[in-house]
Structure 1
Amino acid sequence: MTTNPYLDSGSCFIGEDGGRELPPADRSDVQPQYVHHLAPKPPPEISPSIPKRKGVKQRCVRFTVVAVICLLLLTLITGILLAYYFSSPCVHGRQCGDGSCVWESQWCDGVKDCPAGQDEASCVRLHGSSFLLQVYWTQGKNWRSVCSQGWSEQQGRASCQDVGYSRGTYFKSGHQQTDADDGFLILKTDLNPESPIMHQLVLSKTCPNNSVVTLHCTDCGRGVNSSRASGVQQASPGAWPWQVSLRVGGSHRCGGAVISPYWILTAAHCVAWTSGAADWLVYAGVVRPSDTLFNPAYTVSRIITHEGFNSITHSNDIALMRLSKPLHITASSDIGAVCLPNVGVYVSAPQKGWITEFSRTVNTGAPHLMEAQVSLVDAANCNRSVSYNGRITQDMLCATEADEGINMCHTDSGGPMVSLKDGVWWLIGDNIWGEHCNEQNRPRVYGSVTYFLDWIYHQMKKHQDG
């Protein structure tokens, strides 16, 4: 038996796997032995330039894809911005109304930049029951009161002309005290009185005694001599001095309201189908048929019907008549003007008002001026399915006779609805629709003068000279 010289003859033991486990050898006795190892097959040589070219190519492809995507996104965003810009040409300005626009700084600067002058059409206004004069200040984009220091009747006439009234109808300027946290507009020391009112004013943080200008461009809204009895009754002479009779061929056609010595407000459907202004005569201060014998007839030089008038829906049912010569209005006469509702004068349901119209009496068959008190009806109630079922739009008002069971259902269109507030009579509506007023839940419908206020002033200003 050959003995393995590499095995220690010392003690040994059997391991759990049935094999013999040798004790650890003394490392000092171990001699280095040569062990033959099979060298693994070397991997094939790969040129280092091949993966480098491949990586560069992949990076170029990824870069190209990202660049194309970014370019497409940029093109899409540019297209959206250009589409928005061309669809809204006044992104950085204000629209004139004919498709063109001007810069914000050009609005209310005293120079007409819009073709039709819309940028200077509504820059001066009267506010509230005190007729406070306010001017739009472009730099602050707000309305500011005008300090009364240095104010004269000359500035008053010029301001009324900027509102829309003729210089010849100017009534008076006044003043009142008010607070203005954002400052006032005050007359320049070196002003040119012939220049537009916007060029005569400069911003000021203070105003002596906080006294600001009030402006009455025409004498309007003075007291009414009505008995104000309940129900429908004949009006007394001078009770409603703004009421006029509009006649064609000697016959009464419609009612109207005097808003200045030159201007009459009525319904568009009254005048839309007539041949021209020369066919009309206007009688003021009449309540009975015989009154036309003692009052002059006024001729009409121009009729302006709202461009959006719809005879089917009655939307925009409003028109203006300009007289060839002004009405003679004095405090002692039976002729006067009713006030247009200033900005800040709110009249809403269930506030009371009065309507007047020429109706034929049973005895004579001739038209007499009748009066009745009405109450405004909320638009939501007027638009119920049992009433007008959504036909009442924002340019309309509804009103019903204050006394239940009493109605004045005649077809005298264009007649005024007025309301007394803060001691002033305001024109709040013109009669446009009442053919169903005998039916339950069918109030009478009026055009909202407040809604049309800008349109009215714009037309008056545009046609100041006839």
Structure 2
Amino acid sequence: MLPHSVPDVGPQTRTAAERRVGRAHARSRTNATFPKRRCRRCHLGAEGEAPDLSVQRRCKNGFQGVAFISFFFFFFFCSGSRGAFSRKTITPPRYALKRERYIKKDIACTKSPHLNRKGGLFTAMATEANYANSGPYFVNYGFNLEQEHLPPYSQYDNRHVYHIPQQAPSAVPQYTQRVPPHFISSNQTSPSPDSISSTVDRRKVRMLLGAFAATVILAVTGIIVWYLVTVACLFGVTCGTSGKCISSSQWCDGIRQCPDGEDEEMCFRLSGDNFLLQAYSSKSRSWKPVCSDNWNDKYGKATCSQMGYSSDTYFQSGRVTQASVDSSEFMTVDTSSGETSVQFTNSGSCSAGSVVTLQCIECGLTFSVSTRIVGGTSARLGQWPWQVSLWCEGEHWCGGSIITPYWIVTAAHCVERKNSPTQWKVYAGKLTLSEMKTSIGSSVSLIAINKYYDSSAKSNDVALMKLTLPLKFSNSMAPVCLPNFGLPVLQQAECFISGWGALKYAGSTSDMLNYARIYLISSSVCNSRNVYGGLITKTMFCAGYLEGGVDSCQGDSGGPLVTKINNIWWLIGDTSWGYGCAQANRPGVYGNITEFLPWIFSIMQTYK
């Protein structure tokens, strides 16, 4: 709708009173920044009439009150929104949008010839200064009918100037759409308090999640480190029985740190068929040959005693050239350690040019040259002097082998159900069972079964018997040698078995000691589908003939399987189990004594 206007009757028709009223009206408009709609009647009277002075006086008072209130709210709004303007945001007061229409209409009124056009334009300029920073509110410009553009004005006027965007004037007033009071930005939307709160909440959540993730990572890392250091013992050595982890430098240092003393039990060992002495180096965590510098028989006896042998059975020490061993590092005896407890130190050279060999007991010798053993031959006295018969409750039960005057090696399955020492007697140096019945056997003081023995799979099938009194060695009674580490046993080596077992499956025991020649069978063949189909573990091996005919049988369990290397007989197996006797593709199975050496020496040391 077009704004109301009065026909231009020309300035020459105005009286002095009317000119005074016009000047007063212009002053009132200058002071009233935001007139209310109802006061627009004060500008003009009825069409063609002079303004009503009484109404004009009342409106003048109203203009002044409204101007004061409007200026107060506008100042309050601008003061509170200064920070928002500095961020290029706009917070228009609700009343500004409402009164903008009156400003536009008020500007349009300046077209009247009864008013001072300059005063009316100044009022419009004063009004637009009030909203110079209010933002893009589009309104019509007030202008004179005689002019196409607004007269220029100073941008440095210190009065409130309402900024009107520069756009082409329109004949019809353009009214802005009512906008609900919220933050508006010309470039981007400023976040509301709710969005700021949600942003803060998201930051807190991210911080909490990051802290939680860091805690989890640290915990997992700690658990891994703890596992590697304690359980897996990555930087140390694990005690065999308890699983305790000790430093490698504490292994073989002369002080027992493991609960069962494993750290000091296997600090020495004999290697190969020449009895080469080796000592464990905690520095390199490996076995090194012992240089013969400062070595003598006193150190030899002390070393054998620490291994589990008795000093009374000590045989000899020897020397071999340094060139015969493949090693650039050596262990030398620590002369300050004493002669009862030998300690060694690492050395990069050996000035003597030779290393030590050590035999703690004379063993593996036979005194006759002259075959239950199915397909076997009767033995002669002294042919297998280490062979013993184990009697339980008055009858032959199993076989065994002498390794020292006190210790007998047998199979664990022989004693697992009858493990009381008082139930057993040991007969040595005899060829027939009949003469044993009239003899006094040796009593047993201790029976030790391998703690890893599995009765169902027959793995780790080994046990030790300790005699109450030592045996007196003779041509018919002598020990067999325990196999040294690295003993060069051929894959199909010739071996011998002996015992009083049955001569046929389910038969009665033999009164005469028999023996037989058999050959080792590789584990790959023995574990094949046609033989034992994977039942053979590293603690056992097969020996015999795949075609059958010669085998051990009932009553031979625990007896020796020996092989001869460098003119010495070595105990490399104990009779364990088999399917039937002397059947095809069912050879005898024997315990692997080499695998049992650490356990055997630990028992000998513990119960020396």
Q: TM-score, normalised by structure 1?
A: 0.81
Aligned 1:220-231 pairs, distance under 5 A: 220-223=363-366, 225-227=368-370
In 2, the alpha carbon distance for the partners of 1:55 and 1:46 equals: 19
Contact 1:246 1:256 in 2 (8 A): yes
Matched, 1:312 2:456: yes
Q: CA deviation at 1:285?
A: 1.5
Equivalent position to 2:472, from 314, 318, 328: 328
Q: Distance in 2 between matches of 1:51 and 1:365?
A: 101
Residue number among 354, 363, 378 corresponding to 1:211 in the alignment: 354
> For the Cα contact (< 8 Å) 1:265–1:318, is it kept in 2?
yes
CA distance in 1, matches of 2:284, 2:451: 33
1:81/1:161 CA distance change after superposition, 3 Å: farther
1:187 to 333, 338, 346: 333
Q: Return the match for 2:224 from 59, 75, 84.
A: 84
Aligned to 1:455: 599
Q: CA deviation at 1:51?
A: 7.1
Q: Partners in 2 of 1:177 and 1:59 — Cα distance?
A: 82
Tell me if 1:122 matches 2:260: no
Equivalent residue in structure 1 for 2:481, among 339, 353, 362: 339
Equivalent position of 1:354 in the other structure: 496
User: Which residue of the partner structure matches residue 409 of structure 1?
Assistant: 553
Q: Match of 1:430?
A: 574
Match of 2:287 in 1: 143
Give the SS at the match of 1:425.
Answer: strand
Task: Give the Å deviation of 1:346.
Answer: 4.0
Relative contact order higher in (CA < 8 Å, ≥ 6 apart): 1
Pick aligned residue for 2:420 from 263, 266, 276: 276
Cα pair 2:548 2:587 within 8 Å, conserved: no
Distance 1:400 1:65, change over 3 A: same
SS in structure 1 at match of 2:466: strand
Tell whether 2:342 aligns with 1:197. yes
| Most deviating of 247-256 and 106-115 | 247-256
342 and 295 in structure 1: CA distance in 2 versus 1, 3 angstrom threshold: farther
Shift of residue 310, structure 1, vs aligned partner: 2.7
Counterpart of 2:247, as a letter, is W
Higher alpha-carbon deviation: 279-288 or 57-66? 57-66
Q: 1:323, CA displacement in angstroms?
A: 1.1
Distance 1:187 1:406, change over 3 A: closer
Q: Cα–Cα, structure 1 residues 187 and 392, in superposed 2: closer, same or farther, change >3 Å?
A: closer
Task: Tell me which residue corresponds to 1:39.
Answer: 166
TM score, norm. by length of structure 2: 0.63
CA distance in 2 between partners of 1:417 and 1:86 (Å): 46
Kept in 2: contact 1:411–1:434 (CA 8 A) = no
In structure 2, what residue type is equivalent to 1:39?
Q
Preserved CA contact (<8 Å) 2:268 2:280: yes
**Greater per-residue strand proportion:** 1
SS in 2 for 1:367: coil
Structure 2 counterpart of 1:276, one-letter code? S
Change (3 A) 1:186 1:94: closer
| Aligned residue in 1 for 2:211 | 71
Q: What's the offset of the Cα at 1:309?
A: 2.3
What are the superposed Cα offsets for residues 381-428 of structure 1, whole Å, 9 maximum, x if unpaired?
A: 222333222222221111114996344534321111011123221111
> How far apart in 1 are the matches of 2:319 and 2:430?
36
Conserved? CA contact 2:407–2:465, under 8 Å? yes
Aligned CA RMSD, in angstroms, stands at 3.5
Q: Is the 8 A contact 2:275 2:484 kept in 1?
A: yes
> Does the 8 A contact of 1:129 with 1:422 survive in 2?
yes
Structure 1 match to 2:127: none
Q: Secondary structure at 1:380's aligned position in 2?
A: helix
Provide the C-alpha distance between the structure 1 equivalents of 2:307 and 2:473, rounded to a whole number of angstroms. Answer: 20
Instruction: Report what 1:163 is aligned to.
Output: 307
The structure-2 alpha-carbon separation of the partners of 1:48 and 1:438, relative to structure 1 and needing over 3 Å to count, comes to closer
For 1:312 and 1:262, the matched residues in 2 are separated by 30
Displacement after TM superposition at 1:352 (Å): 1.6
**Distance (whole Å) between structure 1 residues aligned to residue 503 and residue 548 of structure 2:** 21
- The amino acid that maps onto 2:218 is T
Which stretch of the first structure deviates more once superposed, 68-77 or 411-420?
A: 68-77
Count of matched residue pairs: 424
Residue 335 of structure 1 and its aligned partner are, at CA, apart by 1.3
Change (3 A) 1:60 1:236: same
Q: Could you tell me how far apart the structure 1 residues matched to 2:516 and 2:185 are?
A: 112
| 1:204–1:315 CA distance, 2 compared to 1 (3 A) | closer
Q: Contact (CA 8 Å) 1:409, 1:435: kept in 2 or not?
A: no
User: CA deviation digits over 1:179-230, x for unaligned, max 9?
Assistant: 4643222233544223x312xx3222222342111111111112463447x9
Percent sequence identity is 36
Q: Structure 2 unaligned segments of length 5 or more: list them.
A: 1-147, 151-164, 169-183
- Residue 3 of structure 1 is matched in structure 2 by none
CA contact (8 A) 1:361 1:368 kept: no
Distance 1:289 1:51, change over 3 A: closer
Mapped to 2, the partners of 1:425 and 1:320 lie a distance apart of: 20
Letter of the structure 1 residue corresponding to residue 478 of structure 2: G
1:266-286, Cα deviation, whole Å (9 max, x unpaired): 011111222511221111111
Residues 99-138 of structure 1, C-alpha deviation per residue, up to 9 Å, x if partnerless? 4322222111110111111211211111111111111111
Computing the radius of gyration from Cα coordinates, the structure with the larger value is 2
CA gap 1:312/1:141 in 2 versus in 1, 3 angstroms: closer
Moved more, 445-454 or 184-193: 184-193
Match runs of 1:288-307 below 5 Å:
288-289=432-433, 291-292=435-436, 297-307=441-451
Structure-2 change in CA distance of 1:174 and 1:52 (3 Å) = farther
Are the aligned partners of 1:276 and 1:303 in contact in 2 as well (CA < 8 Å)? yes
Greater percentage in helix: 2
Q: Distance in 2 between matches of 1:187 and 1:45?
A: 90
Do the aligned partners of residues 173 and 291 (structure 1) sit closer, same or farther apart at CA in structure 2, a change above 3 Å counting? farther
